[in-house]
Amino acid sequence: MRRFWTGVTLGLTLLTVAGCDNDRAVKQQLEAVNAVDAADLSDVMLTVADPNEAVRFFQRTSAEQPGKIDYIRGLAKSQVRAGRSIEAVSTWTKVVAHPEATNEDRVGLADANIRANQWDQARVALDAIPPTFETYDRYRLEAMVADSAKDWTRADSFYEIAVGLTTQPASVLNNWGYSKLTRGKYSEAEQLFLQSLKNDQSRFTVKNNLILARAAQGNYAMPVMQMTQSEKAELLHTLGLSAVKRGDVNTAKQLFREAVETHPQYFEAAVRSLEALENS
């Protein structure tokens, strides 16, 4: 009954507004409601929707309202989510050229450049951002660009700043650790991977990188950390491969056997590695 009277009241209100010759007010109210609905839908498309479906949605809306930066920006972000990096670079370039573009948009362009392996263009995009704009994403990308140029001093500085600007540093700590790993600074890399795991123990990539850093130092003992049986088997296999590279063949055989025994299913890769060693 309440629902009925609510509907009647709303109807009478609209009739009253119309009767007062206030069509403009009604139109403004409807436009406000539509704007809220569009914003909510955009948020859904940028978070939980299928990435390619989101791309199609923003392609349509940005074509219908070509001057609205929110839709062009939404298209760029959706293309990044969908792994369409080259397209994302083109769209982010349009966003940055828009009169309402922000420094955060320039960071978005640099991110797309890096994903498309366009390191020089990423540097140009980052250089266009004033030094007073200090965000985690900006410095994370600055560190990666410095890494690509093997400018280790700048890279370390930017990584350190980025870590201090986020409450979830696991990802950037892993990147920093991998940078140290490629430089041959295995002990420093190991410590960074351990810090990363303290912040997020679910990342298998970090666990694998930690194993590589330890094995490079001749340490084949499995570290204490959370892992499933399958993960442990995979990590033992990684240790075995690292032992082969270092010429520790007998240790490698032992690690491959343990990997085969540990895995809850048939571990074909470890079996092949063990057979290759035994046959040679």
pLDDT tens track of the chain, all 280 residues? 444 334 434 443 443 444 444 555 444 443 444 444 556 777 888 876 788 999 999 999 999 999 999 999 999 999 999 999 999 999 999 999 999 999 999 999 999 999 999 999 999 999 999 999 999 999 999 999 999 999 999 999 999 999 999 999 999 999 999 999 999 999 999 999 999 999 999 999 999 999 999 999 999 999 999 999 999 999 999 999 999 999 999 999 999 999 999 999 999 999 999 999 999 8
- Fold match flag (38-116 vs 134-226): yes
16 CA to centre of own chain: 52
Of 275, 274, 264, 277, which is closest to residue 233 (Cα–Cα)?
A: 264
pTM passes above 0.75: yes
108 CA to centre of own chain: 12
One CATH from 1.10.357.10, 1.25.40.10, 3.40.50.1970, 3.40.190.10 for 38-116: 1.25.40.10
At the topology level, CATH places domain 134-226 in 1.25.40
| The pair of three-digit structure tokens given for residue 246, joined into one six-digit string | 């270092």
pLDDT of residue 42: 78
How is the chain split into domains, by residue range? 38-116, 134-226, 229-280
The DSSP symbol for 222 reads: P
